[in-house]
């Protein structure tokens, strides 16, 4: 199995973002790195100057670099940004239908925010050029197995580590939580590097707000499930960046998929790291996403 | 603008047809549609009867088959499309890429609408659906301002339909897994959001706690009416402060901005609420019928009398105004 490092979903300050990718380039045993802003177009200008160097550094280290498109473009400027991305000639990860319309006919990658629930949708995206398709985080094992058993030419990828993206909106909940409007947000999301923790009134960890995006609070870790994913025909695992030691995370997954670490021990090794939240894996087991099935 | 109204049951269909709907939308009694609630929706035979009743009165019928088909189970979704076509429905409303492809090949003459669940929010995305699957109308996601809608209308080769009244998704429709995170059941897979089977109300001291899948969605002091614990309308804590962090319990009401929506070139207005009762539907449909007739006649718009029918007695124009964001 191959490992994909998903895009940083959070608004990390540019120096931190650059340092992160430098370390990934040098030390993380991943095959593919998806970079770019998926959540909010207001964040991207700060990184424009750094992107070229980050790409070069990752490629020099032998990583395949893929550029992620925005999840919810609505402004003219945002639609133009998606078109520019396609014009760059690089492999693109689509995260909505606007980007699909722009890449259709050329090879492209489908991110976890596109609705691929069945074999016919999968075939449709393949016929339009998809070479890797990341399945929606809520898809249960039974569905993954059916999709994997089909005559798919695209690699199937599954969201295996990180806070699962659950929803996207036109409204910025980060700004709202601070009593601000989206247009005058003061980039408050920059302070919550793994998302803004949302608790229930009874103090249960529940969700994490990331600008216009809402994520699970629980940290998805598919570890013991790796043999089943492999049997199902899943060829790639997606690891979503957090502030915890991602080099350690990618090493643990590399050891597990290469057979050096028993999958059952992967969770223990991940748990030993300083994690932003408790571990969940419910979706794979057809349970609530917030559940942990041991 | 065409007035498109919900019907969760055959008698609701007759109610909204009689109250002045130009079109009525409904779905089958299974997970092929996004209002898969107990006791709701149509059998194939009821749909045939409903189409006859509507067509006799000059009203169209649109059939929503707008969930995402289950892997290995697409036959159920195919059969739903086939039954809708055979019933003489004027359009089927789809969201799933695979199902759109299948339906456009199997029934090339059938009029297809793109469900809001497909979340097509830009001209290029909408053109893709129009060109590849022959989609004739797109239901726009509730993320756009009136100005953005006008720009989209002028750039696409098909009609647009927008939500005018009722429940309000604050997340982009078809792209929200909050419900399955708490309960295991989602709009995309099961056609349900915050399903009743996972709801628990419990009296704790003087307060009433409303939980969904074990997560506390809200807590009501004695005497305060309790709302249904729809996940995104709950009260949660951020930095120790309790607030409706996503949205207050509220209803969309675009009645006051109908002239702007008309000027933007919108083709149809959608009333949400297939789960609603007949009295509610009759009142809402009549109000919008009167308003649209006044608008078409160039007369003053009637004032809204719908506040009593909104969630929590609150209404919003939602994303249609940019300040909502």
Q: B151 at the A interface (CB within 8 A)? A: yes
Instruction: Return phi, psi of residue B126, to 5°.
Output: -70, -40
> What is the reported pLDDT for A87?
87
> What is the reported pLDDT for B320?
86
- What are B166-198's pLDDT values in tens digits? 988 899 999 999 999 999 999 999 999 999 999
The verdict on residue A291 lying in a domain is: no
Compute the nearest-CA separation of A54 from chain B (Å).
30
Cα gap B16→B23, rounded to integer Å: 9
Cα gap A24→A11, rounded to integer Å: 18
Compute the nearest-CA separation of A73 from chain B (Å).
7
Q: Which residues lie below 8 Å from residue A121, measured CB to CB, with a gap of 6+?
A: A115, B68, B69, B96, B97, B98, B99
Instruction: Return phi, psi of residue B46, to 5°.
Output: -60, -35
Per the CB < 8 Å rule, is A201 touching B236? Answer: yes
Which letter, b or e, does each residue of A210-243 get, where b requires 16 or more Cβ atoms within 10 Å of its Cβ?
bbbbbbbbbbbbbbbbbeebeebbbbbbbbbbbe
Residues in chain B within 8 Å Cβ distance of A282: 184
> What is the reported pLDDT for B325?
82
Q: B202 at the A interface (CB within 8 A)? A: no
Which letter, b or e, does each residue of A102-134 get, where b requires 16 or more Cβ atoms within 10 Å of its Cβ?
bbbeeebbbbbbbbbbbbbbbbbbbebebebbb
Q: Is the predicted ipTM greater than 0.90, yes or no?
A: yes
Q: B157 at the A interface (CB within 8 A)? A: no
- What are B282-303's pLDDT values in tens digits? 999 999 999 999 999 999 888 7
The verdict on residue A252 lying in a domain is: yes
Cα gap A59→A81, rounded to integer Å: 23
The verdict on residue A246 lying in a domain is: yes
Q: Are strands A155-169 and A130-134 parallel, antiparallel or unpaired?
A: parallel
- Using CA atoms of B200, B202, B208, B211 in order, give the dihedral in degrees to the nearest 10: -30
Per the CB < 8 Å rule, is B70 touching A117? Answer: yes
The verdict on residue A195 lying in a domain is: no
Domain assignment of residue A15, given as a range: 2-165+218-275
Nearest by Cα to A221 from A288, A258, A266, A286: A266
**What total of structural domains would you count in chain A?**
1
Residues in chain A within 8 Å Cβ distance of B322: 183
Tokens of A171: 């409204």
- DSSP secondary structure of B226-261: PPP--GGGS-EEETTEEE-SS--S-EEE-GGGHHHH
CB A140 within 8 A of CB A293: no
Cα gap B175→A205, rounded to integer Å: 22
- What are A132-143's pLDDT values in tens digits? 999 999 999 999
> What is the reported pLDDT for A128?
97
Cα gap B100→A148, rounded to integer Å: 22
Domain B2-168+250-324 has CATH 3.20.20.70: yes
Please give the helix or strand (H or E) that residue A142 lies within, else none: helix A141-149
Q: B243 at the A interface (CB within 8 A)? A: yes
Domain borders along chain B are 2-168+250-324, 178-243
Angle B177-B200-B172 from CA coordinates, rounded to 5°:
20
> What is the reported pLDDT for B292?
96
> What is the reported pLDDT for A276?
95
Compute the nearest-CA separation of A201 from chain B (Å).
6
CB A6 within 8 A of CB A241: yes
* Sites in chain A below the pLDDT cut of 50: none
* Sites in chain B below the pLDDT cut of 50: none
The verdict on residue A138 lying in a domain is: yes
> What is the reported pLDDT for A272?
96
Per the CB < 8 Å rule, is B144 touching A168? Answer: no
CB B269 within 8 A of CB B302: no
The mean pLDDT of chain A is 96
The verdict on residue A248 lying in a domain is: yes
Nearest by Cα to A32 from A41, A24, A23: A24
Tokens of B260: 């702007």
Q: How many CB pairs under 8 A join A and B?
A: 215
């Amino acid at each position: 199995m191959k490992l994909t490092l998903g895009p940083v979903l959070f608004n990390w300050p540019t120096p931190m973002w650059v340092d992160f990718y430098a370390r990934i380039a040098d030390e993380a045993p991943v095959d593919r790195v998806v970079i770019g802003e998926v959540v909010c177009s207001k964040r991207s200008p700060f990184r424009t100057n750094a992107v070229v160097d980050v790409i070069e550094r990752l490629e020099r280290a032998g990583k395949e670099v893929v550029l992620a498109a925005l999840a919810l473009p609505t402004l003219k400027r945002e639609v133009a940004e998606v078109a520019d991305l396609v014009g760059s000639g690089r492999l693109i990860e689509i995260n909505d239908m606007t980007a699909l319309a722009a890449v259709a006919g050329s090879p492209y990658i489908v991110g976890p925010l596109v609705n691929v629930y069945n074999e016919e949708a999968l075939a449709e995206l393949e016929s339009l050029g998809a070479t890797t398709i990341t399945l929606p985080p809520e898809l249960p094992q039974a569905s993954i197995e059916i999709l994997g058993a089909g005559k798919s030419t695209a690699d199937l990828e599954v969201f295996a580590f990180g806070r699962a993206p659950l929803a996207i909106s036109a409204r910025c909940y980060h700004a709202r939580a601070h009593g601000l409007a989206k247009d005058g947000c003061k980039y408050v999301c920059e302070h919550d590097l793994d998302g803004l923790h949302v608790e229930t009134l009874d103090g249960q960890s529940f969700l994490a707000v990331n600008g216009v995006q809402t994520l699970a609070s629980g940290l998805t870790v598919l570890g013991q499930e790796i043999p089943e994913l492999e049997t199902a025909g899943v060829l790639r695992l997606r690891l979503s960046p957090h502030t915890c030691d991602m080099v350690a995370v990618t090493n643990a997954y590399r050891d597990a998929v290469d057979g050096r670490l028993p999958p059952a021990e992967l969770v223990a090794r991940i748990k030993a790291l300083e994690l932003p939240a408790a571990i969940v894996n419910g979706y794979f087991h057809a349970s609530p996403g917030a559940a942990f099935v041991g | 603008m065409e007035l498109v109204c919900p019907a969760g049951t055959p008698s609701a269909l007759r109610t909204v047809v009689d109250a002045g709907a130009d079109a009525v939308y409904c779905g089958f009694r299974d997970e092929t549609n996004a209002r898969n609630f107990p006791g709701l929706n149509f059998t194939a035979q009821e749909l045939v009867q409903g189409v006859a009743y509507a067509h006799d009165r000059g009203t169209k019928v649109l059939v929503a088959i707008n969930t995402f088909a289950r892997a290995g189970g697409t036959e159920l979704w195919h059969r739903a499309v086939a039954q809708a076509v055979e019933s003489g429905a004027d359009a089927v409303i789809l969201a799933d890429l695979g199902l759109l492809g299948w339906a456009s090949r199997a029934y090339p003459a059938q009029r297809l609408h793109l469900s809001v669940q497909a979340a097509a929010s830009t001209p290029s995305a909408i053109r893709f659906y129009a060109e590849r699957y022959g989609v004739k109308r797109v239901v726009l996601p509730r993320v756009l301002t009136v100005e953005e809608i006008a720009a989209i209308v002028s750039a696409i080769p098909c009609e647009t339909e927008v939500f005018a009244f009722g429940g309000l998704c604050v997340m982009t429709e078809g792209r929200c897994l909050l419900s399955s995170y708490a309960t295991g059941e989602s709009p995309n897979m099961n056609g349900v959001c915050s399903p009743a089977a996972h709801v628990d109300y419990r009296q704790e001291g003087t307060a009433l706690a409303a939980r969904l899948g074990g997560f506390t969605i809200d807590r009501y002091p004695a005497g305060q009416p309790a709302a249904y614990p729809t996940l995104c309308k709950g009260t949660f804590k951020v930095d120790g402060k309790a607030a409706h962090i996503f949205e207050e319990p509220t209803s969309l009401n675009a009645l006051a901005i109908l002239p702007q929506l008309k000027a933007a070139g919108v083709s149809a207005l959608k009333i949400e609420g297939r789960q609603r009762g007949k009295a509610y539907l009759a009142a809402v449909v009549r109000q919008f019928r009167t308003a649209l007739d006044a608008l078409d006649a160039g007369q003053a718009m009637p004032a809204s009398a719908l506040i009593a029918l909104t969630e929590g007695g609150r209404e919003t124009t939602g994303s249609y105004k940019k300040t909502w964001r």
